[in-house]
Amino acid sequence: MLTKARIAVLVSGGGTNLQALIDAQQRGELQSGEIVLVISNKPGAYALQRAEKAGIPALTITRKDCGSTEAFEAALLAALEENHIDLIILAGFMSILSADFTRRCPDRILNVHPSLIPSFCGKGMYGLRVHQAALDYGVKVTGATVHLVNEIPDGGRILLQKAVAILPEDTPETLQRRVMEQAEWILLPQAAEMLSANIVKEKRHD
Ligand code: GAR
């Protein structure tokens, strides 16, 4: 009987959202799921060290090594299947997955985005660019969104959102940090627990 959803976290960079998930698991707040695999598409990403420190197996799979998007996604899928992954979490994963990929995993891929979708999102909007765009526009409130991933970049069903104030002296970096601290690191583990609990319940009824 499945007692916990098996989670893979896909990363590209620093991995502070991965760390928030690991910490939530260690505190018992993420209890319906277990992070069993971390995959980076960037060699040397600091997130890989966080995985190692937490004793979580980690892999690097790059598009460049694979030679094409199709081969890259096939390698990702193979690693996910081999590890019997129930839930995929994109935590600062800076690569858009194709419709072919996302259709294979309906309602099983979570993403965290550093704005209040539908503002400042979609293709080309990631990392500090999102915060720069919010500052350029002059909005006074931004935030973070956790949503399901479908074939539309940042277009899947929204699960959780939290607003964060923008201060007059903000730079993209200070804003990014506040959005992470006040929203992303809280929402992502909450959504991971919600979805994991659903997966466990569904499997029990199988
Ligand atoms: C986070 O702010 C995350 O929301 C964002 O990149 C950062 C990754 O930080 N993701 C996107 O912009 C995706 N569209 P982390 O590696 O420290 O978690």
pLDDT 10s digits, 64-98: 999 999 999 999 999 999 999 999 999 999 999 99
Residue nearest to atom 11 of ligand 1 (CA): 126
Query: Is it the case that residue 1 has pLDDT exceeding 80?
Result: no
CATH number, position 151: 3.40.50.170
- Please state, rounded to an integer, the average pLDDT across all residues of the chain: 97
Residue nearest to atom 7 of ligand 1 (CA): 92
What digits encode the pLDDT tens for the residues 129-149? 999 999 999 999 999 999 999
Residue 201: C-alpha distances to residues 1, 4, 5, 33, 196 (Å): 11, 10, 10, 12, 9
Domains identified in the chain, total number: 1
The confidence band for 161, taking pLDDT boundaries of 50, 70 and 90, is very high
**Distance from the CA of 111 to the center of ligand 1, in angstroms?**
9
Q: Domain range for residue 164?
A: 5-205
Structure token pair of residue 166:
């923008």
Pocket test for ligand 1, best of 48, 145, 180 (most atoms within 8 A of CB): 180
DSSP symbol at 181 = I
The pLDDT assigned to 203 comes to 83
pTM over 0.95: yes
The confidence band for 206, taking pLDDT boundaries of 50, 70 and 90, is confident
For ligand 1, is residue 184 a contact (CB within 6 Å)?
yes
Which atom belonging to ligand 1 lies closest to the Cα atom of 179? 2
For ligand 1, is residue 13 a contact (CB within 6 Å)?
yes
Whether the CB-CB separation of 87 and 192 falls below 8 Å is answered with yes
With CA atoms as reference, report the closest residue to 91 among 47, 57, 122, 50: 47
Query: Is it the case that residue 175 has pLDDT exceeding 90?
Result: yes
For ligand 1, is residue 126 a contact (CB within 6 Å)?
yes
What digits encode the pLDDT tens for the residues 100-121? 999 999 999 999 999 999 999 9
Structure token pair of residue 120:
């400042």
What are the catalytic residues?
Answer: 113
